[in-house]
A = this chain, B = another copy of it.
Amino acid sequence: MIKIIVDCFGGDHSPIANVDGALSALEKNQDLYLILTGDETALRAALDGKSYDAARLEVVHAPQVITCDDKPTDAIRMKRDSSMMKGIMMLRDCDDIAGLVSIGSTGALVTGALVRLGRLKGVIRPTFCPILPTMTGGIVGVCDSGANVEVDAAMLRQFAIMASLYLENVYGITSPRTALLNVGVEPGKGDALRQEAYGLLQETECVNFTGNMESRDLLSGNHDIVVCDGFSGNVLTKTTEGTALEMLKLLKGKIYSRLKYKIGALLMKQMFTEIKDFMNYQNYGGSVLLGTSKVVVKGHGSAKAVSVEKCIEQAYKMELSGLGPKIEAELAKYEHYEE
């Protein structure tokens, strides 16, 4: 039985989306056991009238909610009775619980997990790895996307190792093509950090290192993993999201400006829906923390039930595949190893 906590508050559609997502995941995976944290009355109301295997579902009362307005460092200290922090503390303290899924504040979740959960053996710093859809219908993982704004080359190598094992074990991608984000593709490009990381990645056996990647190539489908410091990874992912959204807004604004365009858009309605679906976060699960002692998955704040279910499945697969022990075994092969 794999036990996973679902933090049921803090998202735009909480707690309904969280509860419904949890019930779907529960139905599909017979060896899954879920613990829902949050205001018990609200959770019982959301569960009321729904059919599920009550022997594999538990509700833990946690009346507080961490919002995006809460400063992460304050939230993890002051809101111990929140659905998120109660979840993190249970995860830390109970050996038989494998992971946590949350769609609440990213800052609080990452800070809480880094501060309260231990690291896997050998990990210098846990990293945050979201998955983006590529234009060829595949996916690409960006690691680190913002958990560590200051890194060294040894950390970048660890990010590559952890992300490679993650994509292999959870997404079934063999030898994921792993590139280093840089200002040009030629070897020798970039600052001292990038040059050192390039050398380390080349000699890392379990990483299928394909060289430098320029950011304009992110969605091309030529890469499975992009390794970067958290500052530029944050710029990379947020610029991609921002540009795509601004372009859709521009299109929409123009379409409404003339009747002819509206008719054209009507003919293309299905196409636009397909594009929106394709770009929709809901369909790609969550971002994972790699390197913490237990599994942590962060879904998008606007996650609906289908997306919460995907996040739970990610956490489930991470545990089922033994990702944590595999990461520890691989990191032990290299220098810059911290006990």
A residues contacting B by CB (< 8 A) are 107, 135, 146, 149-150, 181, 183-184, 190-192, 194, 214-220, 230-232, 234-236, 238-247, 249-251, 254-255, 258, 260-261, 263-268, 271, 274-275, 278
How far, in whole Å, are A330 and B320 apart by their CA atoms in the complex? Answer: 62
Question: Given the complex, which residues of B lie within 8 Å of A236, measured CB to CB?
Answer: 235, 239
Query: From A186, which residue of chain B is reached at the shortest CB distance?
Result: B71
Cross-chain contact B264 with A181 (CB below 8 angstroms): no
Chain A at the B interface: SS class: helix
Complex CA gap A218/B230 in Å reads 19
Task: Collect the chain B residues with CB atoms within 8 Å of residue A239's CB.
Answer: 215-216, 218, 235-236, 239-240, 243
If A235-B239, A239-B243, A263-B264 are given as contacts, then 14 extra A-B residue pairs at C-beta distance below 8 Å, sorted by A number, are: A149-B191, A181-B235, A214-B238, A216-B238, A216-B239, A219-B243, A235-B235, A236-B239, A240-B243, A243-B244, A254-B271, A254-B275, A255-B271, A261-B268
Considering only CB atoms, which chain B residue lies closest to A217 in the complex? Answer: B242
Q: Would A230 and B183 count as touching, CB distance under 8 A?
A: yes
Q: Which residues of B contact A190 (CB under 8 A)?
A: 149, 231
What are 22 inter-chain pairs, A to B, with CB distance below 8 A? A135-B249, A135-B250, A149-B190, A150-B192, A181-B235, A190-B231, A215-B239, A216-B238, A216-B242, A218-B239, A231-B232, A232-B235, A235-B235, A235-B236, A235-B239, A250-B275, A250-B278, A254-B271, A261-B267, A264-B268, A264-B271, A268-B268
Q: Specify which chain B residues have a CB less than 8 angstroms from the CB of A278 in the assembled complex.
A: 250
Known: A246-B220, A247-B244. A150 touches B191 (CB 8 A): yes
Find the B residue at minimum CB distance from A181.
Answer: B235
Chain B residues whose C-beta falls within 8 Å of the C-beta of A232 in the assembled complex: 231-232, 235
